């Protein structure tokens, strides 16, 4: 996967002299931060052999809640409100799947529509502008010369890598994804941990919503529509198996970068927007093809 | 079971008692009282004028039901359009509206139109997602022998009346202002509306018509902003990275223009003074024109649905529609006057007459 990224970056720097400049690379990092954060949350879910189609909608509800409360109540209150809603939606997903036995695909598909409806009701369909300068800085500012959203993405990556690799919970996520019955028999609290996985995905959606709202200074009820598919694509390109148990957040990060660099270079070289979609689709299929080959060896 | 029935009856009676006087109307959440005041601000109430009060149509029962199939309510422009319709409906106490949300999906909207026919509406107002795909639904309405008023985007089949403004001539106006400001030469980038959608195609066509006369203006790159803010940010970032000298941005939607302005500020290119030419005609957009963020705003008003309703009532009453003409598609067309492009010169005059009551985003280049 790293080889693919290196190849793409080499090709990109040959195609456009402006690709390999620091401002452009920092732009790419910022551009991928929203989907990257969603994809890391999605990795937890897919590793546990689930799927979460509601991440884009949960991002949307968090965005409108941040926007609706930011100027009235201030950052310190507004941010928790959005996160509580996002975590609650994730918890409902998790409980429905782990305890009520609803298939993840169906549960989160329902949640996708339900939460999007809430976002439309909350806003009345009209975007809510955010005027807080401090909040704008969060999405658009720099720390140590790196865009803050990119730093958030890297922090999330490090924390998730630690949780998945080095904690009993993380190892259990892999165990649940490989063989749920075996995990249960060996004493893993499967239901509780499955619920937790969807709560994490919900929280990540909330965090991605925070980046979205602060970057764009607007709370629109259509925020994040279709992002669930971008997140799943990043996870898959990053080498995580849709059948659970195999993969890593590091891979997802690389997958996110590959898709992001591809979009960037297509824009830099001025490829027709109609044609850009062909590249993106082709890349996803190619990545999975290469992976299934290497898996068989 | 009996308990459930009681509960249902209680809920139903509660709903009936609420459905009086200052009932909040669906989607817009406005009451008729609020809409009466709003009606006075609408731009086209003098077209097909109609006095307030009950509408009498011979051969019909006293109450009339009018169906409205909207593209979708995913954009405030579409909601503003409905508000104009509700405002007209509120003036006529015997009118009932049935409003359906197409979810920007041609299949869903086609079903919606058929559902309206099943419900036995007296007229259908349609603002199609996409023209060709809604043609069969439009034919079904005409076959049912009830008036079909098509608004904003057209269908290529027979209809009672099509009402819309021309995106082509509007874009010519905006692009003409751009060409003049640039003195006929310069480098521009374009962020379109959702690719393939008819307003995006028409706005692009209008721009190209003008640019054909100005060979000195070069289009460096074009990207798809999907009418919204988030895709426009990375697009503009990448344009700025690729091209050290951009003189102007031609952007099909105010929302995308805001996204581009954010990207310009972040890239530290505010001092390039990239001129922005955009569309949508919201009050926020007009304020941004006044503030100098946008150089021009194509004044594409959603306030045409009140005319649509009046046209339907004219048709039901068999009154002739003054100003209707035959045109390239079957049926008739009512061409609305092009509202002038809003620029710094006339922004003051237009603020308050656009759509939407939200404030513009703070311009990151002017903080």
Q: CB distance from A271 to chain B under 8 Å?
A: no
What is the Cα–Cα distance from B362 to B367, expressed in whole angstroms?
8
CB-count burial class (<10 Å; 0-12, 13-18, 19+) for A183: buried
pLDDT tens-digit readout, B72-104: 988 889 999 999 999 999 999 999 999 999 988
- The number of helices, as runs of H, and strands, as runs of E, in chain A is 13, 4
| Partner residue opposite B73 with nearest CB, options A18, A27, A125 | A125
Chain B residue numbers touching A270 (CB-CB < 8 A):
220-221, 242
Q: CB distance from B358 to chain A under 8 Å?
A: yes
- As a whole number of angstroms, the longest Cα–Cα distance in chain A is 59
What is this model's ipTM? Answer: 0.73
At B4, is the pLDDT very low, low, confident or very high (cuts 50, 70, 90)?
A: low
- The residue ranges of every structural domain in chain A are 23-267+275-284
Nearby residues of A83 by Cβ (< 8 Å), 6 or more positions away:
A62, A203, A206, A207, A210
At B149, is the pLDDT very low, low, confident or very high (cuts 50, 70, 90)?
A: very high
Chain B residue numbers touching A268 (CB-CB < 8 A):
238, 241-242
CB contact under 8 A, B229 and A216: yes
| Residue B314 neighbours by CB distance under 10 Å | 21
In Å, how far is B182's CA from the nearest CA of chain A? 23
- Could you tell me if B344 and B269 are in contact, meaning their C-beta atoms sit under 8 angstroms apart? no
Q: Which two tokens stand for residue B251?
A: 């952007």
| B20 pLDDT higher than 90 | no
| Per-chain mean pLDDT for chain B | 91
| B290 pLDDT higher than 60 | yes
At B2, is the pLDDT very low, low, confident or very high (cuts 50, 70, 90)?
A: low
**Architecture of the domain delimited by A23-267+275-284:** Orthogonal Bundle (1.10)
- Could you tell me if B225 and B197 are in contact, meaning their C-beta atoms sit under 8 angstroms apart? no
- Among chain A residues, the shortest Cα distance to B244 is held by A18
Q: CB distance from B74 to chain A under 8 Å?
A: yes
Please give the pLDDT value at position B268. 93
Triad A126, A129, A135: Cα angle to 5°: 145
> Judged by CB atoms within 8 Å, which residues 133-172 of A form the interface with B?
133, 136, 140
In Å, how far is A23's CA from the nearest CA of chain B? 8
pLDDT tens-digit readout, B315-351: 999 999 999 999 999 999 998 887 899 999 999 999 9
Which residue has 């009701």 as its token pair? A121
Which residue has 């995905």 as its token pair? A201
- Among chain A residues, the shortest Cα distance to B238 is held by A268
Q: CB distance from B231 to chain A under 8 Å?
A: no
Using only C-alpha atoms, chain B has a radius of gyration, in whole angstroms, of 22
What is the Cα–Cα distance from B113 to A86, expressed in whole angstroms?
36
User: Percentages helix, strand, coil for chain A, rounded to the nearest 5?
Assistant: 75, 5, 20
Domains and CATH numbers, chain B: 27-165+302-335 (3.40.50.2300), 167-300+341-366 (3.40.50.2300)
Q: In angstroms, how far is CA B148 from the centroid of its own chain?
A: 18
Nearest to B251 by CA among B231, B272, B271: B231
| A297 pLDDT higher than 60 | no
- Among chain A residues, the shortest Cα distance to B262 is held by A216
| Partner residue opposite A16 with nearest CB, options B239, B242, B266 | B242
What is the Cα–Cα distance from B46 to B63, expressed in whole angstroms?
25
What is the Cα–Cα distance from B210 to B50, expressed in whole angstroms?
39
């Amino acid at each position: 996967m790293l080889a693919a990224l290196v190849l793409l970056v080499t090709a990109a720097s040959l195609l456009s002299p402006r690709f390999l400049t620091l401002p452009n690379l920092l732009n790419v990092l910022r551009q991928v931060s929203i989907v990257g954060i969603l994809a890391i949350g999605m990795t937890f879910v897919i590793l546990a052999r689930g799927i979460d189609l509601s991440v884009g909608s949960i991002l949307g509800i968090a965005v409108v809640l941040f926007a609706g409360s930011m100027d009235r109540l201030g950052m310190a209150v507004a941010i928790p409100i959005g996160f509580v809603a996002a975590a609650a939606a994730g918890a409902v997903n998790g409980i429905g799947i782990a305890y009520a036995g609803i298939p993840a695909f169906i549960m989160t598909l329902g949640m996708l529509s339900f939460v999007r409806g809430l976002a439309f009701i909350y806003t009345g369909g009209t975007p809510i502008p955010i005027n807080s300068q401090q909040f704008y800085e969060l999405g658009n500012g720099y720390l140590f010369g790196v865009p803050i959203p990119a730093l958030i993405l890297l922090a999330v990556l490090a924390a998730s890598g630690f949780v998945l690799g080095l904690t009993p919970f993380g190892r259990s996520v892999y165990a649940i994804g490989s063989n749920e019955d075996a995990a249960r028999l060996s004493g893993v609290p499967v239901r509780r941990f499955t619920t937790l996985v969807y709560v994490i995905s919900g929280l990540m959606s909330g965090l991605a919503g925070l980046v979205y709202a602060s970057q764009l200074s607007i709370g629109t009820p259509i925020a994040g529509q279709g992002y669930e598919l971008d997140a799943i694509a990043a996870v898959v390109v990053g080498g995580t198996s849709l059948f659970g148990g195999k993969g890593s957040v590091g891979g997802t990060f690389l997958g996110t970068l590959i898709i992001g660099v591809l979009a960037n270079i297509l824009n830099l070289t001025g490829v027709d927007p109609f044609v850009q979609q062909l590249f993106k689709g082709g890349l996803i299929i190619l990545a999975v093809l290469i992976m299934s080959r290497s898996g068989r060896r | 079971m009996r308990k459930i029935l009681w509960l249902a009856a209680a809920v139903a009676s509660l709903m009936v008692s609420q459905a009086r006087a200052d009932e909040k109307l669906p989607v817009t959440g406005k009451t008729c009282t609020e809409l009466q005041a709003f009606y006075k601000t609408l731009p086209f109430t003098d077209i097909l004028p109609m006095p307030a009060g009950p509408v009498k149509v011979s051969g019909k029962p006293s109450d009339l039901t009018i169906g409205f199939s909207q593209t979708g309510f995913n954009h405030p422009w579409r909601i503003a359009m409905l508000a104009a319709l509700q405002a007209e409906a509120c003036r006529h106490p015997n009118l009932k509206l049935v409003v359906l949300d197409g979810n920007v999906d041609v299949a869903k909207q086609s079903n919606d139109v058929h559902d309206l026919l099943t419900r036995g509406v007296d007229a259908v107002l349609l603002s199609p997602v996409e023209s060709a795909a809604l043609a069969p639904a439009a034919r079904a309405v005409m076959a049912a022998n009830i008036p079909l008023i098509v608004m904003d985007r057209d269908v290529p089949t027979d209809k009672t009346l099509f009402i819309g403004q021309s995106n082509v001539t509007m874009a010519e106006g905006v692009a003409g202002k751009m060409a003049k400001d640039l003195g006929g030469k310069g480098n521009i980038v374009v962020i379109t509306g959702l690719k393939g959608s008819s307003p995006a195609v028409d706005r692009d066509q209008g721009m190209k018509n003008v640019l054909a006369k100005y060979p000195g203006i070069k289009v460096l790159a074009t990207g798809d902003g999907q009418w919204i803010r988030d895709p426009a940010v990375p697009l503009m970032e990448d344009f700025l990275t690729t091209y050290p000298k951009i003189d102007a941005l031609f952007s099909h939607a105010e929302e995308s223009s805001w996204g581009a302005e954010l990207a310009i500020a972040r890239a530290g290119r505010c001092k390039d003074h990239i001129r922005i030419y955009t569309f949508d005609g919201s009050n926020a957009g007009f304020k941004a024109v006044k503030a100098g963020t946008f150089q021009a705003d194509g004044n594409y008003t959603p306030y045409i649905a009140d005319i649509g309703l009046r046209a339907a009532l004219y048709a039901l009453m068999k009154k002739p529609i003054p100003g209707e003409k035959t045109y390239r598609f079957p049926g008739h067309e009512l061409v609305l006057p092009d509202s002038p492009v809003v620029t710094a010169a006339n922004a003051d005059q237009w603020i308050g007459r656009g759509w939407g009551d939200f404030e513009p985003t703070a311009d990151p280049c002017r903080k």
